[in-house]
A and B are shown apart, each in its own frame.
Chain A
Amino acid sequence: MAVFRETVPRTFQEKLFELNWSVVLLLLLLGGVGVAMLYSAAEGQWNPWASRHLVRFSIGITVMLSIALFPPRFWMGMAYPIYFGALALLVGVELFGVTINGAQRWLDVGPIRMQPSEIMKIAQVLALARFYHDLPPDKVNSPYGLLVPAFLIGAPVALILHQPDLGTAVLVAVTGGAIVFLSGLSWKIIIAGGVAGFAGVIGFLNFGIADYQRQRILTFLNPEADPQGAGYHIIQSKIALGSGGLTGRGFVQGTQTQLNFLPEKQTDFIFTILGEEFGLVGGLAVLALYALVLANAVAIAASCKSVFLRLMVMGIATTFALYVFINVGMVTGMLPVVGVPLPLISYGGTVMMAVLFGFGLILGAHIHRNADPPRGAGLFG
């Protein structure tokens, strides 16, 4: 009975036994790749990035394992408070935020500078998962079942767009849409919504977009038109990747990287170091690691009994997949430059903490997959 237990583990030892070690191992590998790439980015030195990345990653893994121990009940209870707290912070950014590089994304809380949009990525997933958990299945296509998710998604997306941060807004919107899709929305409404959304995007591109964002999209369409300006990132990135060839130029041997032709190489463009120094083989290996992580996440979601856990796991996995897709698509010139990091490999504390927090929730869902908390009263009653 020990193997096919239908019960929910309660003690620390039981929970540790149920931990999904393959996911933990894959995450450790990705973090290790990050440390190696940052070591190369600093021309073969531990400082300033690799060493700190290692420390943050270690802390993040610990936090992740701790999160995994919390029962789903706890997160269900926290879903709405966290969501509205994050929404309040986004409004705070709008009112008191710090402007860096023309975008108002940061909020100074005492000594900490935080980016509420990162919190919102997980908060929204929790809130939507909670909402559909409480919603009877036959109400999914009802006005109530449509309007509340529309608000839960629309409010943060609008606020983030206004910062402006197109990349995160797209990420939050698509993740929210994915959860709505998984909740069992009828195809008719999906198609109608898709058409309306497409029209909305066209309208938005014409009227609701900042000049620098429009410029990025134009640059994406024709980077060679402005090689020293906006297109520089993409051109240099493609040169780095392309010159890497099949097997790469060797660790800490990439000339594009080592001679500083890659801008922001330690953050958004870190995949180009991998491509230049380890070639197609290295790039595909890392993509495979991400794919395995995601496959595990889908399996975990499918194994969960509660709607809350299923949607939460899929929501977080979608965000993670979008990070990878947008980032790699961006550095390979398939997508515009929107400033999305490569999770666990790019240098940067906030995103790494958010990602590992999310995986803490996924691992927690795996441990507590048989739990099925009772349906709550719903958001408004």
Chain B
Amino acid sequence: MKADLQEQQLKFTRRALMMGGGGALVFTALAARLHQLQVIDTERYRLLSEDNQFNFLLTPPSRGRILDRFGVPVADNRDSYRVVMIPEQAGNAEEALDRLGRVIDITPEQRDRILRNVQRSPSFRPVTIREDLDWRSFAAINLETPELPGIIPEVVEIRDYPSGSSFAHILGYVQPAPESVAGDDPLLRHPGFRIGRTGAEAAREDTLRGERGSLKVEVNAFGRVIRELPDQSIPATPGEDVRLTIDAEVQRFAHERLAGESAAAVAMDVENGDLLALVSTPGFDPNQFVTGISQTDFNALNQNEYRPLYNKALQGTYPPASTFKAVVALAALEAGVVRPEERFTCRGSIPFGDREFHCWRREGHGRVNLRDAVKTSCDVYFYEIAQRLGIERIAQAARRFGLGSAPEIGLAGVSRGIVPDPQWKLSRYGQPWAQGETLITAIGQGFMLTSPLQMAIMTARLASGRSVSPRLYQDQPVDRGEPLAINDAHMALVRDGLRAVVHEPGGTSYYTLGGLGVDGVEMAGKTGTAQVYSITAEEREAGVRTQNELPWRLRDHGMFICYAPADRPRYAVATVVEHGGGGSRAAARPARDILRLLIERDPASAGPFVAMESGSSPT
């Protein structure tokens, strides 16, 4: 018994020591493992640890501004107050919104959107609650922040268009990049980042956008930023400013002058092609698109009969009508098919083929030479010289004056218009040219279509005698063009006719305008009326006699081209008033007023705008 016990104790001690040895082995294994992790592989884990610790946050660049020719910002960035929620810090999102709802208004729709976003995104990512708050609400939230955990009021940059609707069509607007465009680009996916979607904002996106930067931050496991390390960060490169040739003052004036109409106006420097105004009415407020336009507002714009979203100055095409006659007159003189003093008799119409071609003046103009024909816009005279010229030479002249091709001004959607000739007609309709169509083309009707911009180019070329091309951005080269190589006497004669349109009794605009309204400065102009609908015999019987008795959409388009000073041309203006009624009057007066403002302001003489260096004093 005693021996048994002793043997048992011996056995115990032996086995206890075995276990102790086993334990020592196990602890040695642990120590070896620690050595492997902490000494052999430590570099690798150190790097992984830094990967955990630091993050790079994207800093969006400040968007370049868009300035007018004098440096007046027309697309700017302003500080916008917004409030975001970081769900991780806010706790229960619904309760957080209830608390915030006592400070600012949150509509049920906004609430639903916010709660949806909270569920969808990781809990450390801010969810926008409301954007573009007014100062009072923002101040109220700031005051209450201690009681609103996870609710962050912040100041961000947002695009602002101080000129509102007057620049809408030139500038376009910015919006968050749609999914198809954004792709995997982190900048385009950055919350609140917007890109140009239309207009100059889209066309000059590369210049305006800038380069994103990154901010090195220390983050915790939930992604919350603990500390910023600006020293190890790359600052964002702001986008460059884009300077337009537009004079904001003229643009605004032209826009207001055409308010209420469906119209377009283009003002141009005839020497260097600088576009000084490019107006399409009605406009729209691009600011609405930046912060997100409601479906109702968008539908209202999209379905408006006056088509406010459409840039009529570039995209709209209209028959140039009688504004084209000056070009035809020059072509006839240059071709030698008519002598300056040669007279034709206008009895109100001439027969051609098997039909009568009417003059706009039913009672006729009597005996008219070229100058009279331009001044009174006699259609019969142009029917006569058209027969001598032929369609090929008319089309050729039209093209020399910039019609039938899209001018490259750095905006999308510029129309080519149509300069018809037999080849065009054959390929378009599969039919041969009819001789009567030559006559109609000579008075700017029929197949011929031009945009208001093309009409302005045509006017500038008439005024300067050079194939000047338009320019919208000051960083584009000036294209004064080649001399048109037209006999000076011919040019002088046609220009004198255009001056007489406004300044001589019998001129088509003499009673409407009578002059520029600036002492000592004369202007030259040409009216145009494009027929949209012929009043039928039945309607005439029923008493519909004038344009104003027709529905708006059936009335004639009115157009007017002009330049001044008549002796030393500098500025050209072209206007189109859709369904203006009453002939060209609706277009002539605004055009003259815009031209007068140009002569008074004389933006071209002010020289190019140079940004002043800070600290330097004007000398």
* Residue positions of A touching B, CB distance < 8 A: 136-138, 178, 181-184, 236, 238-246, 255-256, 259-261, 275, 279-280, 283-284, 287, 290-291, 294-295, 298, 301-302, 307, 310-311, 314, 318, 321, 325, 328-329, 332-334
18 extra interchain contacts, Cβ-Cβ under 8 A, other than A246-B39, A302-B16, A318-B19?
A: A178-B19, A239-B48, A241-B38, A242-B41, A242-B42, A242-B46, A243-B45, A243-B48, A244-B42, A259-B52, A275-B38, A280-B34, A283-B34, A287-B30, A310-B16, A314-B19, A332-B34, A334-B33
Segment touching A, from B219-227, B424-432, B473-481 = B219-227
Residues of B with C-beta under 8 A to A280: 34-35, 38-39
Residues of A with C-beta under 8 A to B34: 241, 275, 280, 283-284, 287, 332
Could you tell me if B35 and A240 are in contact, using CB atoms closer than 8 angstroms?
no
**Chain A CB within 8 A of B259 CB:** no
Q: 8 Å CB contacts to A: which residues of B74-107?
A: none
B468 to chain A, nearest CB (A): 65
Which residue from A138, A244, A328 sits with its C-beta under 8 Å from B4?
A138
Which residue from A184, A241, A260, A307 sits with its C-beta under 8 Å from B221?
A260
Q: Which 6 A-B pairs have the closest CB atoms?
A: A242-B45, A243-B49, A260-B221, A259-B220, A280-B38, A137-B8
The secondary-structure label for the interface of chain B is helix
Contact of A325 with B12 at beta-carbon distance under 8 Å, contacts A239-B45, A239-B52, A242-B46 already known: no
Residue of A nearest to B34 (CB): A283
Cα A284 to Cα B52 with chains together (Å) = 26
Cα A236 to Cα B48 with chains together (Å) = 9
**Chain A CB within 8 A of B53 CB:** yes
Could you tell me if A314 and B31 are in contact, using CB atoms closer than 8 angstroms?
no
Which residue from A244, A256, A325 sits with its C-beta under 8 Å from B38?
A244
**Chain A CB within 8 A of B15 CB:** yes
B420 to chain A, nearest CB (A): 68
Could you tell me if B218 and A259 are in contact, using CB atoms closer than 8 angstroms?
yes
Residues of B with C-beta under 8 A to A245: 38-39, 42, 46
* Residue positions of B touching A, CB distance < 8 A: 4-5, 7-9, 11-13, 15-17, 19-20, 23-24, 26-27, 29-31, 33-35, 37-39, 41-42, 44-46, 48-50, 52-53, 218-222, 226
Cα A301 to Cα B15 with chains together (Å) = 12
Which residue from A136, A182, A236 sits with its C-beta under 8 Å from B12?
A182
B10 to chain A, nearest CB (A): 9
Residue of B nearest to A334 (CB): B33
The winner among B16, B27, B52 for most chain A CB atoms within 10 A is B16
Cα A290 to Cα B30 with chains together (Å) = 12
Contact of A291 with B27 at beta-carbon distance under 8 Å, contacts A242-B38, A259-B220 already known: yes
B43 to chain A, nearest CB (A): 9
Cα A283 to Cα B34 with chains together (Å) = 8
Could you tell me if A332 and B30 are in contact, using CB atoms closer than 8 angstroms?
yes
Could you tell me if B12 and A310 are in contact, using CB atoms closer than 8 angstroms?
yes
Cα A70 to Cα B38 with chains together (Å) = 45
B6 to chain A, nearest CB (A): 10
Residues of B with C-beta under 8 A to A321: 23, 26
Cα A290 to Cα B31 with chains together (Å) = 12
Contact of A182 with B16 at beta-carbon distance under 8 Å, contacts A243-B42, A283-B34, A287-B30 already known: yes
Residues of A with C-beta under 8 A to B39: 245-246, 280
Which residue from A137, A239, A240 sits with its C-beta under 8 Å from B5?
A137
B3 to chain A, nearest CB (A): 10
Residues of B with C-beta under 8 A to A283: 34, 38
Cα A44 to Cα B30 with chains together (Å) = 28
B7 to chain A, nearest CB (A): 7
Contact of A332 with B20 at beta-carbon distance under 8 Å, contacts A182-B12, A182-B15, A242-B44 already known: no
Cα A368 to Cα B35 with chains together (Å) = 41
Could you tell me if A302 and B53 are in contact, using CB atoms closer than 8 angstroms?
no
A131 to chain B, nearest CB (A): 14
Residue of A nearest to B24 (CB): A291
The winner among B27, B50, B226 for most chain A CB atoms within 10 A is B27
Residues of A with C-beta under 8 A to B17: 298
